[in-house]
Amino acid sequence: MFEKGIIIIGGGHGGSQLAASLRSEGYDGPLTLVTAETDIPYQRPPLSKAFLKEARHDLLPLRPESFYEKNAIRLMLAAEVESIDLGGRTLRLADGAVLDFDRLALATGARARLPAVDGTHLAGVHVLRVAAEARALRDRLHAAENVVVIGGGFIGLEVAATARLLGKTVTVLEAADRLMGRVVAPEISRHFLDLHRGWGTDIRLSTAVGRVVGDGGRVVAVETAGGDSIPADLALMGIGVLPNVEIAAAAGLAVENGILVDETMATATPEVVAVGDCVSFPHWELKRRIRLESVQNAVDQAKTAAKTLLGRPEPFHEVPWFWSDQGDVKLQMVGLPFGTTRAVIRGKVEDNRFSVFHFAGERLLAIDSVNRATDHMVGRRLLAAGLSPSPEICADESVDLKALVQTVTAGA
Ligand SMILES: Cc1cc2nc3c(=O)[nH]c(=O)nc-3n(C[C@H](O)[C@H](O)[C@H](O)COP(=O)(O)OP(=O)(O)OC[C@H]3O[C@@H](n4cnc5c(N)ncnc54)[C@H](O)[C@@H]3O)c2cc1C
């Protein structure tokens, strides 16, 4: 169909899925996946979980190497795209090579952000996004004694829990007054605060980092903005990410906290799509643009983008979901808790097995579950079907939500 073919930039969850979906949707033309990393596309979530804990743990490939060969996907590793010429339909790699395309997909993801404080260049200061960073962090972590994590979000807390399991002294500095405050209910933040403190981690809320202190080029302490000094031979910066949008912006694509796409993942340039952590898309219910950072979002957007590239566009209407493993506790989230007016709890917080159901009026918007996978799975079906059992029913454990969703969806 396309002589020069399709090029996908970025071999993460979104890029790898997009390549697979193009083939499963019937595209049989030239297909190239170009990625800056040296490893074949792999699962990113374990990097802050199992991979970090065990020195012998390998990366988990998203698909076997043979998949790319069998499906005639040209996988170019260690190939960083430096610039894109949209008019000429070419792109240039850092080594000077120029590739032609008919259609282009950007799946460039995001990179870890550093706080604007002194000392982040010191040895022993780490970030965690890609395998190379995970390997460096793991080597350092196993040898470290005093670990300071800056940022009480998912990645910071997952690393903190692993570091405690490895017997390290761990301190977490969080600038806000609760953990994971951007995305979870206050009940969940409180619960995880208790859990981490129970595991022996020193969690300091409302505490910003002041500077990282070094000696001989290595980190020796982290100083809070209030002037407290905490000994550290490892400091992890887990304060969030920046979307990788620079090559898109330089090529003339519109960017605003992410590459702007429409509901079908198309940019304003019809032959270019973008997916995953690097995009800002119009949410069908919120009626505004958002940028999400999750595997499900990248994968589902890639499936949508494949159809768009092949001339069969469909709007992206998937319910977002996410998970985080901290120690032996599983946190799962579905939906977006924006504009909620009420929350009810199903289960018992003290049992470490409960869910928070978020409502706007009577409308169910989102569910955060702690060690309650069934609630999460039922929630995904409820939200996908646009169903809202009342807050009272959701809170009532004598009502079988799974049976309820089956009855309602069967009758729908
Ligand atoms: C440690 C960690 C733990 C996580 N845990 C979870 C979890 O438990 N659950 C969950 O849902 N999500 C989790 N996430 C988030 C999830 O991994 C991301 O949302 C997901 O990877 C996004 O996929 P993506 O394809 O958009 O970007 P990425 O997976 O980041 O892939 C982007 C790729 O593009 C490459 N690239 C960028 N620019 C260029 C360029 N110019 N040229 C060539 N290549 C380029 C990058 O090197 C990278 O390989 C975690 C993330 C991290 C870092």
Is it the case that residue 355 has pLDDT exceeding 60?
Answer: yes
- Please state, in angstroms and rounded to a whole number, the distance separating the CA atoms of residues 286 and 143: 46
Q: What CATH number corresponds to the domain at position 349?
A: 3.30.390.30
Q: Do 106 and 248 form a contact (C-beta atoms < 8 A)? A: yes
- Please state, in angstroms and rounded to a whole number, the distance separating the CA atoms of residues 166 and 55: 12
Instruction: Grade residue 409 by pLDDT with cuts at 50, 70 and 90.
Output: low
Query: The pTM is what?
Result: 0.96
- Please state, in angstroms and rounded to a whole number, the distance separating the CA atoms of residues 278 and 294: 11
Residue 279 lies in a domain: yes
- Please state, in angstroms and rounded to a whole number, the distance separating the CA atoms of residues 375 and 191: 18
145-154, 349-358, 382-391, 399-408: range with lowest mean pLDDT? 399-408
Full domain range(s) for residue 127: 114-239
Work out the average pLDDT over 57-82.
Answer: 97
**Which token pair is 212?**
């990282």
Residues 106 and 255 in one domain: yes
Which phi and psi angles does 272 have, rounded to 5°? Answer: -125, 130
Domains identified in the chain, total number: 3
Task: Tell whether ligand 1 has an atom less than 6 A from the beta carbon of residue 45.
Answer: yes
How many Å lie between the centroid of ligand 1 and the Cα of residue 12?
A: 5
Q: What CATH number corresponds to the domain at position 47?
A: 3.50.50.60
SS3 330: strand
Task: Tell whether ligand 1 has an atom less than 6 A from the beta carbon of residue 324.
Answer: yes
Residue 1 lies in a domain: no
- Please state, in angstroms and rounded to a whole number, the distance separating the CA atoms of residues 369 and 358: 11
Atom of ligand 1 nearest to the CA of 241: 53
Residue (of 209, 81, 160) closest to 326 by Cα position: 160
Identify the bridge partners of residue 357 per DSSP, sorted by sequence position: 344, 367
Q: pLDDT digit string (tens) for 87-142?
A: 999 999 999 999 999 999 999 999 999 999 999 999 999 999 999 999 999 999 99
Amino acid found at 393: I
Instruction: Grade residue 1 by pLDDT with cuts at 50, 70 and 90.
Output: low
Task: Tell whether ligand 1 has an atom less than 6 A from the beta carbon of residue 263.
Answer: no
Work out the average pLDDT over 389-401.
Answer: 93
Tell which of 239, 254, 270 closes a domain: 239
Residues 194 and 297 in one domain: no
Atom of ligand 1 nearest to the CA of 44: 17
Identify the bridge partners of residue 333 per DSSP, sorted by sequence position: 322, 368
Which phi and psi angles does 249 have, rounded to 5°? Answer: -65, -45
Tell which of 216, 239, 262 closes a domain: 239
Residue 230 lies in a domain: yes
- Strand 110-112 relative to strand 241-243, pairing: antiparallel
